[in-house]
A and B are shown apart, each in its own frame.
Chain A
């Protein structure tokens, strides 16, 4: 069974601080997605990484896929209260339409 472990589970920081969320597995993934989920809503896709070592930036968010494609990180620079939410990583074993395996999520709270 492939598992994705996210850490930390909860993170409470002040506005302006930087943070990193980690997503780790012992298995290789063909691609890895990061989603953001608001309470009572569906996950919203932020980014997909597919190549080992790949780095993608989305404004103040930086996503990295590990060289071995077993882990990923999300780094937020100068966090803002609007970044508050649940961040989920999800891995795919194949890119042919297979299921996504989700981590348990990181609940981020950014206080003004």
Chain B
């Protein structure tokens, strides 16, 4: 069964460094999302992407964040200058065009900012 994949599974970085989290959504899906989950807290929406542009973003998704679909398969989240509070699990999700908003999640990238 097709699934969303994410790399790396764990990223450790120094505060102020740039990180790029990568996702390969399910191949026939056209809507892409990033969510994050700080340890012990709710899963929070960051951004949605459709037709090569951001369709919605949350207050968390400030100028330090960007997303890109550089080719036909990858979907990336870049954090330009990481902060301690960016430490979290980052989940990519995707869904196909259809009547139901069924989003399928990847296994996540655990980002640790030191």
In the docked arrangement, what's the CA distance between A94 and B101, Å? 7
Instruction: Give the docked Cα–Cα distance between A33 and B103 (Å).
Output: 9
Whether B100 contacts A97 by the Cβ 8 Å rule is no
Interface residue from B99, B100, B108 paired with A41 (Cβ < 8 Å): B108
The DSSP consensus for interface residues of chain B is strand
Residues of A within 8 A of B41 (CB): 104
- B42 & A104 in contact (Cβ 8 Å cutoff): yes
Docked pose: A30 CA to B48 CA in angstroms? 18
Tell me whether A90 is interfacial, beta carbon within 8 Å. yes
Given A43-B43, A43-B91, A100 contacting B101 (CB threshold 8 A): yes
Q: How far is the CA of A28 from the CA of B10 in the complex (A)?
A: 37
Q: How many A-B residue pairs have CB under 8 A?
A: 70
Task: Decide if A97 touches B101 in the complex (CB within 8 Å).
Answer: yes
Picked from B31, B101, B108, the residue with its CB within 8 Å of the CB of A31 is B101
CB distance from A75 to the nearest CB of B (A): 21
Check if B100 sits within 8 Å of A98, measured CB to CB: no
Q: Chain B interface: which size bin?
A: 20 to 34
Q: How large is the interface on A (under 10, 10 to 19, 20 to 34, 35 or more residues)?
A: 20 to 34
Contacts of A43 in B (CB 8 A): 43, 91, 105
A49 — nearest CB in chain B belongs to which residue? B100
Q: Assess whether B99 is in contact with A98, with CB atoms less than 8 Å apart.
A: no
Can you list 13 A-B pairs, Cβ within 8 angstroms, ordered by A?
A31-B102, A35-B105, A40-B110, A41-B108, A48-B101, A94-B101, A95-B100, A95-B101, A97-B48, A99-B58, A100-B33, A100-B43, A104-B42
